[in-house]
Chain A
Amino acid sequence: MGRWAIAVHGGAGVDPNLPLERQEAATALLTRCLNLGISALRSSLPAIDVVELVVRELETDPLFNSGRGSALTEKGTVEMEASIMDGRGRRCGAVSGLTTVKNPISLARLVMDKSPHSYLAFSGAEDFARQHGVETVDNEYFITEDNKGMLKLAKEADSILFDYRIPSTAFETCGAASTESPIQMNGMPISVYAPE
C-alpha cells in the first residue's frame, strides 16, 4: 500500500498589499479544503473523486477565482472553464465557456465519464449539462461586488488585471499594467498578460 498525498491552490500572483484579514480568510479556506480531502482519503475515496470534491468546495466559496467569485470578461460577464484528469489510464475531461453551470469541475468529470469526448465548450457544454441534469444558476450568481470593482480598475488601467483581491482602500493598478515592459509575448506587450 502506498501513502496518500494532497495539495491545493487558490491562484498565483498575489497582491503584496493584501490585507491581513484577506490572507487569513484564504489560509482558512485552504486548510478547510485540505482537511476535506484528507478525510476523504482516509475513507479510501479514489484520487479522482477527492480532487473533484475539493475543487467543488473551492468553486462554491467566492474567495478565489473560480465558480462563484470568478474573474469577469471585458463585458462584465463570467465564462468559466475546468479540467480533470485521472492518472490511471490517463482519462480526462474539460469544459470552457460555461456561464450557468454551478460547479464546472463536475461537468468536466461528466465529459470524462459520460461522453466519447475529452473537451466540450460554450453552448455544446451547456447543452450537455442540461442533458445530464447538472445544477445550473443564473450568471449573476457568479458575479461579486469585489470583482465588479476589479474589472473597473482593469478597464481604467486598460489591462488584464492580476487576479487578486484588491484591498478596498488602495486603488493602484497592478505593477505589470502600469510599467510598460519592453518584453513582448505573442506580439503583445507582456503587461497585457498579467498573471491572474
Chain B
Amino acid sequence: TVGCVVADTEGRCAAATSTGGLMNKKVGRIGDSPLIGAGTYAGEVCGVSCTGEGEAIIRGTLARDVAAVMEYKGLKLQEAVDFVIKERLDEGKAGLIAVSSEGEVAYGFNCNGMFRGCATEDGFMEVGIWE
C-alpha cells in the first residue's frame, strides 16, 4: 500500500491511498484502503492514510479515529496518532501517516517498520523505514 497526506497553505487537508491488497488474497477481497474512514480520511482538522493489516484497520476505523480524538478529546496530531495506534488496533499490526491543517506531520506504527517520508514548510524533512 502507498499513501500521501497533505496540508496546503490555505489550511486544506487531503489524503490518498492506493494498494494491490494482500499477497495471496482471495479474489474479490476488499481491504481498508478504499474504505473512507478506515484506510483514508480527510476533514477540516487533519488528513490520514493507513497501511498494514486491513481487517484490523477496518474494525478500528483507524483514519477517522485520528480526526475524532482531535475533535472530541482535543488531542494534538501526534498525540492522536499515538493514541489510535495504541488503543484501536487490538492485536492488529498497522501504521499511518497524518497531517494537520496547522501544517504539522505525524506518523505511527506498531509493526517492525514502515516506509515513510515527511516534510514541513519550516524545512523539516525525514525519510525512514525502521523505528
Is chain B a partner of chain A in the same complex?
Answer: yes
- Identify which of residues 30-71 in chain A touch chain B, using a CB-to-CB cut-off of 8 Å: 30-31, 33-34, 37-38, 41, 44-48, 50-52, 54-55, 58-59, 64-67, 69-71
Known: A14-B129, A55-B18, A58-B18. A33 touches B4 (CB 8 A): yes
Question: B20 to A14, Cβ gap below 8 A?
Answer: no
* Set of chain A residues within 8 Å of B43, measured between Cβ atoms: 87, 90
- Identify which of residues 1-48 in chain A touch chain B, using a CB-to-CB cut-off of 8 Å: 1-14, 16, 18, 23, 26-27, 30-31, 33-34, 37-38, 41, 44-48
Interface size on A, residues (CB 8 A): 93
* B68 is an interface residue with CB less than 8 A from chain A: no
Bound-state CA distance A73–B25 (Å) is: 5
* Set of chain B residues within 8 Å of A73, measured between Cβ atoms: 21, 24-27, 29
Given contacts A12-B52, A196-B52, 11 further A-B contacts (CB under 8 A): A2-B101, A5-B120, A7-B118, A8-B116, A9-B2, A13-B53, A30-B115, A54-B4, A73-B24, A79-B29, A92-B36
Question: B23 to A86, Cβ gap below 8 A?
Answer: no
Closest Cβ of chain B to A8, distance in Å, is: 5
* Set of chain B residues within 8 Å of A2, measured between Cβ atoms: 7-11, 101-103
* B66 is an interface residue with CB less than 8 A from chain A: no
Question: B36 to A6, Cβ gap below 8 A?
Answer: no
Q: Number of A-B pairs whose CB atoms are under 8 Å?
A: 367
Name which residue of chain A comes closest to B1, CB basis: A11
Bound-state CA distance A55–B97 (Å) is: 14
Known: A7-B105, A67-B18, A193-B92. A1 touches B2 (CB 8 A): no
29 pairs, CB–CB < 8 Å, chain A vs chain B: A1-B10, A3-B121, A6-B6, A8-B117, A11-B2, A13-B53, A34-B127, A41-B8, A46-B10, A51-B14, A54-B6, A58-B4, A70-B19, A83-B36, A86-B12, A87-B44, A87-B47, A88-B12, A92-B40, A105-B16, A118-B36, A119-B34, A121-B30, A151-B23, A155-B24, A162-B23, A190-B91, A195-B93, A195-B111
